[in-house]
Chains A and B, each alone.
Chain A
Amino acid sequence: MELIFEISKSGRRGFIPPKMDVKPYKLTSEYVRKNPPKLPEITEGEVVRHYTNLSRLNYAVDTGFYPLGSCTMKYNPKLNEKVASLSGFSEIHPYQNPETVQGAMELMYELGESLKKISGMDAITLQPAAGAHGEYTGIAIIRKYHRDRGDFSRDEIIVPDSAHGTNPASSAMNGFKVVVIKSNDRGMVDPEELKKAVGPHTAGMMLTNPNTLGIFEERILEISRIVHGAGGLMYYDGANLNAIMGQIRLGDLGFDVAHFNLHKTFSTPHGMGGPGSGPIAVKSFLADFLPVPTVLKKGEKYVFDFSHEKTIGKVRSFYGNFSVLVKAYAYILVMGEEGIKRASSMAVLNANYLKAKISKILKVPYNDRCMHEFVASTINLQDKGVKALDFVKRMLDYGIHPPTVYFPPIVHEDIMVEPTETESKYTLDRFVEIVEKIVKEADENPDLLKDAPHDTPVRRLNDTQAARHPVLRWKEN
């Protein structure tokens, strides 16, 4: 498709601002822009057509199955969008008098209370803008906690080798050394390995549970005891909370700090990569370290509380991604206690059903009971010269979004499948049929996979050229 700059015609306009109704003011000339920015000049109709046509090149949850492991691409209810766009939520300013935004503060307070109930934690901040931002915030809290106790020697965070890349990165951004421990042959944290890794330098451990293989860390209570015994704190990476919400609470498993991905577990849309929202919940002994302000209820009034003496400060401006909070709260209200439990049940059922079917077709390296996702491998297709990447690219031709590929890094040629609870048995069965077909194709005509995709708006793109000769903006010829 043409770029919007390529359809621009000098002099055309898409929006006319109101007329000047006061005396114009001339700024000092040295500040005044000499050459206008080369923005597109087009009519409203052309703008709408351009973006509408672009949108049609996209695959999305609204168009089809999106079994992207670790991303929880569940359906995004339309009620969420409707309530978030109410002017009483979308057109209010963060600095207006709290008396004039009591409804918004009530919503933040109530959402916080709901998330505390779901997680079994004691205090919460809604400020972080994404999951990784939540991790950053949580690890900053752990750092400050140790320093506040006068313990400056704890400079290590432990992460399993199966962890999301954000875990080590969030630790490093907080100035920590990252200690990676190897998973055992069942894909789980080995408590013996962990015992060797902990010590007076351990500030904490970051853990996704179920882990990125979709396996619940059975020995979680023992893991928490080992880390706590060494003086460290336990951090819960909430990316995979959809597997266990309503079944068990993080606080009861020994976690001290946890983040939520509202854009995964609580059905808010991913928006092509964001905005998300990554609230952080903590046990009561860490409440004073939370970013400011938090929302408190005093009698019938809601107030912003800046009084935290030990706060890590702010991690962004204002109070968080408020409109995402509205959507997540709407979801929790619709689901209720039973719905939340049913969501995790059906998510885990879907994954196990799919794994049972797929394991007859592809290798499934850790074939225990999985939780909300599982990892399969296309390694058996290797002798045909077919890689996991070829395999998933062929899926595109069948109109399906492929699973996550080459993650976690501890399995070769892996695909990571997370169906979520919002997909029907029919959709899962169709997915299985497609996988079966592609495996057959790999055997009969491997080039069909190696050259895939064939039927997409563009075909396989040259990543190497993009990186070697970066073209990162449009320029006039």
Chain B
Amino acid sequence: MDPYIPHTKPEVEEMLKVVGINSTDELFSSLPQEKRVKSLGLPEGLDEFNVFLKLKKMALKNSDAQHFTYFLGAGMYNHIIPSAVQQIVSRGDFYTAYTPYQAEISQGSLQTMFEFQTMICELTGMGISNASMYDGASATAEAALMSVRFKKKYKILVSDALHPEYIETIKTYASGPQVKIEKFLHDKNGMVSIEDLKSKIDDETAGVIVQYPNFFGVIEDLKAIREVSKDVMLIVVTNPISLGILEAPGNFGADIVTGDGQPLGIPMNFGGPSFGIFAIRDDKRFLRTMPGRIIGETVDVDGKRGFVMTLQAREQHIRREKATSNICSNHALGTLYASVYLSLVGPRGLKEIGELNVAKSHYLLEKLEKTGHFKRKFSGEFFNEFVVETDINVSNFQEKLLKANMIGPVELDMFNELFKDDSQEKFSKGELMFCVTEANSVEEIDHLIAIAEAM
């Protein structure tokens, strides 16, 4: 018998009789019999405990954040997750529910999503948020397509200080509708070159995409970027955990804000799932072209407040090929992580967490520079990660860190293999990006510095 399938033998026989057939094999009589498969070549099923042991063995082969200290970021971060987050998201009433199509028995899902939308508006300074996309990269690609739809123009300008995987995702999404993607460069501060951006905006440009803080950790001057980005949609990719202390992109006039929600209480999960943030200016014309599910407040027949999925006429199940996107499943459970996280930390906690990230990363940079082996690459202000150039033997350094139970910085030249064309400046060997969060204690940082000093 199978633990997940309840049918007893007499029941099967009784049910077959009702159907009017003699064997379960007859259920498949409409399949082309000559193509039926005898054996898939899968192993025999295992009991629960042995599957657990097998997978535990695999898990133990990995170096994880319970046993190692992380100085690695670049789009995925090791932050402290308050204990209550996991407890709440593990409730079956949440995680085993489907999309809330039946609103009357889904008010739990719908209200948390409505609250989530509010929190994202508050964080980003935008007027409207949807109920999530898949991740930061795909959300940003969808934002690019939305600006094309809205402006009816076919060129998108992308900062080369945007995360390389986001750039590659945008390029993929742009290929179908034949949107032209052009990059603008960063300057020696690691910030958008305003001159270069200005020179590339033309009548064909629908949108401009920048990241804040950007891929190199540097905080962009959104005011200056907005000033030169006239008559185009400004899309700002953000790290939401930084917005406890950084000015909201909405206050600089962003038209769309996207980003990855992982820092808000979601484990790193080897890269997913997290969720994609998608927020827009409070503008009805924008709203009609926005992708993804949106939750709205309404009343029931007795006048009681309730929540529903709304403005569905934009979506694929109604509009089919004319929909604003093909997105159906989103990452709702990720938004629950974020809602619980933000409710727990509150405005004061988020500010303190931001201050810890800024202070600790600057502490590490200062000490690294003192060793004489590391040189800060960009002079721009940063949030919790920074790029340095080094002359030491990097693989030797990484190995020593690993032996000391530390996961070292990202080596930027790892991204070179992602770029199939030559439009992106290649990273050089010896360019490292360190990340420090509130989860790194001063002792751990000092330990890393001691290893760096000895190189």
Contacts and interface: CB of A to CB of B under 8 A. Distances in A.
Contacts of B104: 393, 396, 453, 456-461
Interface in B59-105: 59-67, 70, 72, 74-76, 78, 80, 82, 84, 86-88, 90-105
A445 B434 CA distance: 69
A74 B6 CA distance: 12
A171 B91 contact: no
Contacts of B91: 51-52, 55
B244 A135 contact: no
B45 A338 contact: yes
Contacts of A57: 105-108, 111
Chain B CB within 10 A, most for which of A174, A271, A393:
A271
A23 B269 contact: no
Contacts of A311: 420
A291 B63 CA distance: 26
A310 to B, nearest CB: 9
A350 B376 CA distance: 65
Interface stretch (A85-93, A380-388, A434-442): A85-93
Interface in B106-133: 106-109, 111-115, 117-119, 121-123, 127-129, 131-132
Contacts of A54: 107-108, 111-112
B343 A143 contact: no
B348 interface: yes
B422 interface: no
Given A13-B346, A102-B61, A129-B134, A248 B36 contact: yes
A337 B45 contact: yes
B271 interface: yes
B420 A248 contact: no
B424 interface: no
B136 A312 contact: no
Contacts of B48: 79, 334
Given A94-B76, A461-B300, A466-B298, A369 B45 contact: no
Contact of A76 (B30, B96, B362): B96
Interface in A419-477: 421-425, 451, 453, 456-463, 465-467, 470-474
A17 B438 contact: yes
A339 B100 CA distance: 31
A352 B315 CA distance: 32
Contact of A51 (B2, B88, B98, B244): B88
Contacts of B301: 451, 459-460, 462
A185 interface: no
A110 to B, nearest CB: 9
B268 to A, nearest CB: 5
A301 to B, nearest CB: 12
Residue among A93, A216, A350 with max Cβ neighbours from chain B (10 Å)? A93
A321 B64 CA distance: 17
Given A91-B65, A315-B169, 6 more contacts: A15-B346, A60-B97, A85-B86, A114-B42, A272-B97, A474-B297
A253 B327 contact: no
Contacts of A21: 441-442
A474 B114 contact: yes
A279 interface: no
Interface centre among B131, B175, B320, B414 (most CB of A within 10 A): B320
Contacts of A28: 381
Contact of A340 (B42, B113, B275, B336): B42
8 smallest A-B Cβ distances: which pairs? A318-B271, A336-B45, A88-B59, A103-B61, A62-B92, A271-B333, A94-B271, A275-B273
A424 B172 contact: no
Contacts of B257: none
Interface in A394-417: 396, 401-402, 404, 407
Nearest to A26: B358
A17 B356 contact: yes
B137 interface: yes
Nearest to A336: B45
A275 B329 contact: yes
Nearest to A48: B84
B337 to A, nearest CB: 10
B372 interface: no
Interface in A289-333: 291-292, 306, 309, 311-324, 326, 329-330, 332-333
B64 A129 contact: no
A16 B320 contact: no
B190 to A, nearest CB: 14
B326 A47 contact: no
B4 A75 contact: yes
Given A97-B402, A129-B138, A16 B176 contact: no
A260 interface: no
A160 interface: no
